[in-house]
Structure 1
Amino acid sequence: MTIHIDERLEPDGAWRHEGCPIDAAVSVIGTRPTMLIIREAHYGTTRFHDFVGRTGLTGSVVASRLHELVQAQILATRPYREPGSRGREEYVLTARGEALLPVVLALAVWGSEQMLAGQWPVTVLDAGTGAAVALGLVEPNREVSGDSPLVFAPSPAGSALSGEETPARHRDGA
């Protein structure tokens, strides 16, 4: 499956630098330490020392990345206090962070299939039914066929772009 670029996005390539959603996402989540922390947050980890222990990262790296994720509104802090200890903060996913679940799952599946030759020791199941969960591209009412390319096109938010329908063009200009 390929992705074509709608001509309205292509003329000067500016969208690739100024408004590219992939660039915007990886600027926040695109490092190994950051993704390991996001993974752990989705597993339910909330406390600093647990992030350190479960990721294998140093405390200073974890502290820096947690701060960045709070600034990006992917995590939020919440106070807690263990009996007999001083108050501390724990880190919880925000709605923006929870929206990363499909990304985390897609990376896990890709890593298992492409990097670990299918040796990943777990599968993702629906807790309610016990059925294996498969990731895929879907339209509102059907699975997307791998036979036709996808098209990056201006969304309604891209109002500065022309509203005319124009044919899509492949990355290589075909």
Structure 2
Amino acid sequence: MSPATTRPEALDWSMETCTIGRAMAVLGEKWTFVVLREVFNGVRRFADMREHTGMPRQVLTHRLASLVEHGVLRREPYQEPGARVRHEYRLTRKGFDLYPVLVAVKEWGDRYLAEPEGPPLIMTHRDCGAEIRTELHCADGHPVAENREVVPRPGPGARRR
């Protein structure tokens, strides 16, 4: 085989418009998903997040500000009696759309990193109580049984190098 026949076709395409790269610029720092986990689990106040995660104050401040700036979270004011106004953090539509990503990361962690007795958290369907799982389906509704069945192809926003 010559080197030209082994060259991946993906090398012919520019990564300037790669939405995976753009998403990771917003979400790729390790504490981002810890913050999202907290908000998805109902922990919305700064002090509660710090206590529950042990995250350094400066790191948490930066992560929350970045997620608000990118429209993933929004700040909602609240005030305890006799205290100054503070903010809690709520998911926006853009933030809620990350739920399948969080579930997929959790499933991967459960499969490869859980303690021998099992995962510390199980996510269930509110209506029936069955465990939630992520699955891939094509636009025609066919389930993707094996990840190797997925073929990346240039999309409408792709640009040749």
TM range (shorter): 0.7 to 0.9
Aligned residue among 63, 66, 73 for 1:65: 63
Give the TM-score normalised by the residue count of structure 1. 0.77
Q: Which residue in the other structure is 1:170 paired with?
A: none
**RMSD of aligned C-alpha atoms?**
2.1
Q: Which residue in the other structure is 1:101 paired with?
A: 99
Hey, what's the Cα distance between the residues in 2 that align with 1:134 and 1:88?
A: 36
CA separation of 1:28 and 1:122: change in aligned 2, threshold 3 A? same
Higher RCO structure (Cα 8 Å, ≥6 apart): 1
Structure 2 unaligned spans of 5+: 1-7
% identity of equivalent residues: 32
- Judge conservation of contact 2:17–2:158 (CA < 8 Å) in 1: no
Q: Which residue in the other structure is 2:142 paired with?
A: 142
Give the residue type in structure 2 aligned to 1:41: V
Aligned residue among 47, 52, 55 for 1:54: 52
Hey, what's the Cα distance between the residues in 2 that align with 1:21 and 1:54?
A: 32
Q: CA deviation at 1:160?
A: 5.7
Q: What SS does the aligned partner of 1:78 have?
A: strand
Q: CA deviation at 1:147?
A: 7.4
Hey, what's the Cα distance between the residues in 2 that align with 1:147 and 1:71?
A: 34
Q: CA deviation at 1:58?
A: 1.2
Give the TM-score normalised by the residue count of structure 2. 0.83
Q: Which residue in the other structure is 1:84 paired with?
A: 82
Hey, what's the Cα distance between the residues in 1 that align with 2:32 and 2:99?
A: 14
Hey, what's the Cα distance between the residues in 2 that align with 1:66 and 1:148?
A: 36
Structure 1 or 2: larger strand share? 1
Q: What SS does the aligned partner of 2:151 have?
A: strand
Deviations 1:110-166 (A, max 9, x none): 01111226621332211101112221111242311317531222334x1767xxxxx
* Runs of 4+ in structure 1 over 4 Å off: none
Give the residue type in structure 2 aligned to 1:144: V
Structure 1 unaligned spans of 5+: 1-5, 162-174
More displaced stretch, 64-73 vs 131-140: 131-140
